[in-house]
Structures are given as structure tokens and as C-alpha cells.
Amino acid sequence: MSDTLITGAILAGGPRSSIAGQLKALMPMGEVSLIARQIREMRKLCAEIIVVTDSPRSLIEHIDPSVRLITDYYAGRGPVGGMHAALHLARHPLVWIAASDMPFVSAEAAKRLIECRTDACEAVVPIVRYQPIALHGIYDKRCAEHAAKLLEKGPASVEDLLGRIVWLGIQADGWTEEPDVGNFDFAVHGQEDLAQATEWLHPGP
């Protein structure tokens, strides 16, 4: 991997960021919150960490002061709005973007994606079960301009953004079986998913 500095960005806003009124980011994962677990993992690779949120007051007491809390420029536009804010304000040329409901983000997986990157790529995204895991990808800051052009026209999906940029998909099905990587693609959508994640952290006898 090159010596390029990396920004880690966690998207922690929008209507899907809560379960039963509680922010997913603050749900307990072992001895720490989900977002604290993510930040700890991102620190293994990233020189800067950003959290993009529409609820900064809810998070500020739970996040280390070294983590930058920012809000969307294009408010209410979904994950692409958060991606735009992170890419535009990141201090480093590459940004590892992840959703706040992914408890097992993997620095090793992100490192492998960066190693696959070429100068022609604006993003590198893992492919698991034939699906791009766009919210565990590596993005060039250049993608901020593409995101802004989409958002100026209205709400946009992550798929819309992928359709506007030059990205490289990396087959990563086998990675999830490796202990150094794990279930980096897993997302908590409800209480059952949270229970599953907790079981993986603390398996029974």
C-alpha cells in the first residue's frame, strides 16, 4: 500500500440510523458502542476520522474530541448527501466510507481495497454475493463533485453515484471467512440483526 493518507468517514444520519428511537451508532456492542467499535477499527488505517450526522448533539458526548462531527450540505438527501459532505471536507485524498450500522467494518478489508486501486479509479468497492458493498468502499475526493451534481437535481441513491464514477469492483466473498477480515458487510437493520452481531462477538459454548 502507498503512503497516501486516508480519511475514515462514518455516515450516521437519516431515518434509517435509528431502531425504536435509539441511534444505531450508540447501541452497545460488547463493552463499547457500535460507533466506538467502528472508530477503533478505522484508527488502524486512517489518519483522520469524520462522522457525518444530522444529530450531532446526540453523538458529541460519546465520541472522542479528535473525531470530526460534520453535517450534510445537502440535508435530507440520504447516504449520498453524507458521502458528499465527507468527501468534500476530508483532509486526505482517499476516504474510506462506511455506514454507522455496520459493526464489523474491517481495516484489513479497506487496506486490500486500497492496494487494488489504480490512478484511473475514483473508487474501489468490494463485491459480496454479487452485490457491491458501496458503504464499505474507498473513494477519491474527486467523487465529491459527482455527488454534488447528482444532489443538485434532487435525492440520489448510492447506485446513482456508482453510475457516475469510475469504480473498480473487487470480489470479496472469501474475505468474510477470514478471521483477519470477518463479516465486514453485515449491517444492523433491526433487533434480530443486533442480537446476531452480539452472538458473533460473544459466541455461546
What does the pLDDT look like over 38-50, one tens digit per residue? 999 999 999 999 9
pTM summary value:
0.94
| pLDDT range class, residue 5, cuts 50, 70, 90 | very high
What does the pLDDT look like over 133-147, one tens digit per residue? 999 999 999 999 999
- The one-letter code for the residue type at 129 is R
Domains of the chain: 6-200 (3.90.550.10)
Cα–Cα distance for residue pair 40/30, rounded to 1 Å = 13
